[in-house]
Structure 1
């Protein structure tokens, strides 16, 4: 089983942000297991950590270690 990467994305402030981050990760990591939680600002995903972080940054957000 692949270990999930968990990041904090404090600049996600609304459901639109959640959708944007989710879509960016889905495009960068096809088939990855993705969870985006607005209440805790946590994003978790399986797959390549560097690709996931880069996708979040390219979408305009700031991922940090959880």
Structure 2
């Protein structure tokens, strides 16, 4: 079983943000299991933690340890 990484992304505020983060993660981590939850401001994914964190930053958001 692959561990999931969870980040709080408190500057995610709308569905556009959700889509931008999901798209960036899908490009950086093909085949990863990705969950972007606007209500809780949590993003979780399987795969390389550093690549995922960088993908969220490249999308313009600030991931923090959750």
> How high is the TM-score relative to the length of structure 2?
0.99
Aligned length: 66
Q: Please name the residue that 2:56 is paired with.
A: 56
Q: Please name the residue that 1:45 is paired with.
A: 45
SS state of the match for residue 52, structure 2? helix
CA-to-aligned-CA distance 1:5-56 (integer Å, 9 cap, x gap): 0000000000000000000000000000000000000000000000000000
Structure 2 unaligned segments of length 5 or more: list them.
Answer: none
What RMSD in Å do the two structures reach over aligned CA positions?
0.3
Structure 1 unaligned segments of length 5 or more: list them.
Answer: none
Structure 1 runs of 4+ aligned residues shifted over 6 Å read none
> How high is the TM-score relative to the length of structure 1?
0.99
Query: For residues 31 and 9 of structure 2, what CA distance do their matches in structure 1 show?
Result: 21
